[in-house]
Amino acid sequence: MEFCDKFPKVFNDLTFECNIRPGTADEESLLALKQAHCTLIKVGVETGSEELRKKVLNRQISNQEIISLFKKAKEIGLKTYSFNMVGIPGETKDSIKETILLNAQIQPDFMQITIFYPYMGTTLGNYSSKMGLVGRNDSADSYMRESILNLPTISKKEIERAARNFKFNVYKHYNLKKAVLEKGGQIKDFIISKPLLRFFAKAIKRLIPFDTT
Same domain, 137 and 194: no
CA distances from 108 to 5, 95, 97, 105 (A): 27, 19, 16, 9
| 108 and 196 part of one domain | no
Residues 106 and 190 in one domain: no
128 and 181 assigned to the same domain: no
**Does 123 share its domain with 156?**
yes
**Model pTM score:** 0.82
Question: Do 183 and 152 reside in the same domain of the chain?
Answer: no
In angstroms, the CA 191 to CA 124 distance is 36
Q: Are residues 48 and 114 both part of a single domain?
A: yes
Q: Report how far residue 22's alpha carbon sits from residue 69's, in angstroms, rounded to the nearest whole number.
A: 6
Q: What whole-number distance in Å separates Cα of residue 189 and Cα of residue 26?
A: 41
Residue 12 pLDDT: 87
User: How does pLDDT run across 17-54, given as a tens digit for each residue?
Assistant: 999 999 888 999 999 999 999 999 999 999 999 999 99
Tens-digit pLDDT profile for residues 117-126: 998 899 999 9
According to the model, what pLDDT value does residue 212 have?
A: 45
Q: Same domain, yes or no, for 119 and 154?
A: yes
Total number of domains constituting the chain: 2
Predicted pLDDT at 157 = 93
3-state secondary structure at position 86: strand
Would you tell me how many other CB atoms lie within 10 Å of the CB of residue 150?
A: 14
Q: What residue numbers bound the domain in which 196 lies?
A: 177-213
* 183 lies in the same domain as 136: no
Question: Cα separations (Å) of 170 from 20, 105, 141, 179, 180?
Answer: 21, 9, 24, 8, 12
Domain CATH code at residue 37:
3.30.750.200
Do 46 and 126 lie in one domain? The reply is: yes
H-helix segments, 40-122: 50-55, 63-76, 93-106
Listed as ranges, residues in the chain with pLDDT below 50 are 190-194, 197-198, 201, 210, 212-213
Q: Measure the CA–CA gap between 185 and 152, rounded to whole angstroms.
A: 32
pLDDT at residue 176, rounded to an integer: 85
Query: 95 with 120, same domain?
Result: yes
Instruction: Report the chain's terminal Cα–Cα distance, integer Å.
Output: 51
Do residues 103 and 208 both lie within one domain?
Answer: no
Q: How far is CA 110 from CA 91, 104, 107, 136, 144, in A?
A: 23, 12, 9, 32, 17
